[in-house]
Amino acid sequence: MQKIRPCLWFDDQAEDAAEFYVSVFGGDSRIVEVTRNTDAAPGGTGTVLTVEFVLAGQEYLALNGGPHFHFSEAVSLSVDCAGQEEVDRLWARFTEEGEESMCGWLKDKYGLSWQVVPRALPELLSGPDRARADRAMKAMMGMRKLDVRALLDA
């Protein structure tokens, strides 16, 4: 078990969400364990309490905590994408029932915010050519899904 792992609070969709995320990332992603409520729990005997899962080697915990709290853009999961093909694939999966935002951000169908970022972007923004970094930043600010070619051409 890794020392720190994010816990994602859902109303009652923890298992569905974990299964969806595992299907999106594949590879080194899997459901590890599902814990069910006992008679003493408020959620009802046998209903899902938590789901431990792994996405691309990173451990997560999903909790069915009820309708008290909701995701906001104050916390997002950032995905390092090798190139445009991966950006396109993830963007399509997450926005099927989710919603696009700006600058590579989106919300999935559960309301969780993601940043779908091609590896080229941080390289452009942190490189020694500050004028190029400014042009890349300006180009990114006008995008929804990030376009690697347009970022490189900026």
Name the residue with tokens 């919603």. Answer: 99
The model's confidence at residue 39, banded by pLDDT at 50, 70 and 90, is confident
Domain residue limits at 21: 7-64
Residues 59 and 83 in one domain: no
Fill in the amino acid letter for 95: T
Residues 46 and 80 in one domain: no
Report if residue 2 sits inside a domain.
no
Residues 52 and 97 in one domain: no
Q: Report d(CA 89, CA 91) in Å as an integer.
A: 6
Residues 60 and 102 in one domain: no
The chain-wide mean pLDDT, for the chain, equals 96
Overall domain count for the chain? 2
The pTM assigned to this predicted structure is 0.93
List pLDDT tens digits, range 45-101: 889 999 999 999 999 999 999 999 999 999 999 999 999 999 999 999 999 999 999
Q: Which stretch of 1-10, 38-47, 73-82 has the lowest confidence by average pLDDT? A: 38-47
Those residues with Cβ within 8 angstroms of residue 37's Cβ, 6 or more apart along the chain or in another chain: 43, 44, 45, 46, 47, 48, 49
In 5-140, at which residue ranges do the beta strands (DSSP E only) sit? 7-10, 30-36, 48-55, 58-64, 76-81, 99-100, 105-107, 113-118
Residues 60 and 84 in one domain: no
